[in-house]
Amino acid sequence: MENKKYYKIRSIFISVLFLSMCFELFLAQTATADVLYLKDGSVLSGNILEETTEECLIDNSRLGQLYVLHEDIIYRETPQIDTLSESYTIVDQTLDVIAHLSRSVPERKPDVDSFNLLINGNVLSIIDADGRDILFEHWPIGDSDLITIDYDQISPDTNRLTIIAQQEGLVQEESGLYTLRLKYILDKDSRIRVIIRYPKVFHLETIKPEPKIECEGLIVLDQKVRRQQHFMPQLQFIP
């Protein structure tokens, strides 16, 4: 019998703050890899090498080649060139949010060694499309981080980075509900995909706009947004 290495699904919601800081256990979503959102609340990304009706073989840069049963996958994200894809995960204890933000690398100009990005929240880590950690410097400015990255830290063909940041999350309203508000204003016509994960013990009261996928612990919004048009998802929970 063939000896296969399967990914073991755990029965509890995993703290994403812990996972985001311990990349040995999972790799954040990247620009070139498929991303599998699993029943236990964890995320596994990598290249899909083969697939059957029952399982798929994924090559993860940290864990190697693993078989994952389709029944354990609640959502599979496949990268698309014309789609801006970002994700947010609500941490159950603090109600903070861990955000995986996609940012373009500015074109390098002569005699310029580095570039800056202003990111909402406290930046924890930055990775390129191959999952490599990128060194950076950062300075807090209000509730944001100004980060500086040397061009020599990234490969010349890298045009997009994934930034992992811890943000202030849910805001309690007078009604007692907790609200998560996001806001996007794109600089060009594009499709936008927003993935929101939350602890399964939370009760989702309302969501705007209507999601593409809604299941326990996971919301996927997918919408075509025109240049300079506001896209403002809003979710309300009872923790």
Q: For the residues 29-57, what does the mean pLDDT come to?
A: 82
- What backbone torsions phi and psi does residue 175 show, to the nearest 5 degrees? -70, -15
How confident is the model at residue 57, as a pLDDT?
92
pTM score, two decimals? 0.83
Full domain range(s) for residue 191: 171-238
Beta bridge partners of 27: none
State whether 65 and 35 are in the same domain. yes
Task: Summarize pLDDT for 79-90 with one digit per residue, the tens.
Answer: 887 889 999 999
- Residue 87 maps to a domain: no
How confident is the model at residue 216, as a pLDDT?
86
- What backbone torsions phi and psi does residue 17 show, to the nearest 5 degrees? -60, -45
Task: Summarize pLDDT for 166-186 with one digit per residue, the tens.
Answer: 998 899 999 999 999 999 998
- Residue 229 maps to a domain: yes
- Say if residue 170 is exposed, middle or buried (CB neighbours under 10 Å; 0-12, 13-18, 19+): buried
State whether 159 and 191 are in the same domain. no
The beta-strand segments (E) located in 43-96 are 43-51, 55-60, 64-69, 73-77, 83-90
Task: Summarize pLDDT for 176-220 with one digit per residue, the tens.
Answer: 999 999 999 988 899 999 999 999 899 999 999 999 999 889 999
- What is the number of structural domains in the chain? 3
- Residue 144 maps to a domain: yes
Instruction: Sheet with 234-238: list strands edge to edge.
Output: 171-172, 178-181, 234-238, 203-208
How confident is the model at residue 11, as a pLDDT?
42
State whether 163 and 178 are in the same domain. no
Task: Say if residues 40 and 1 touch (Cβ distance below 8 Å).
Answer: no
Task: Say if residues 124 and 97 touch (Cβ distance below 8 Å).
Answer: no
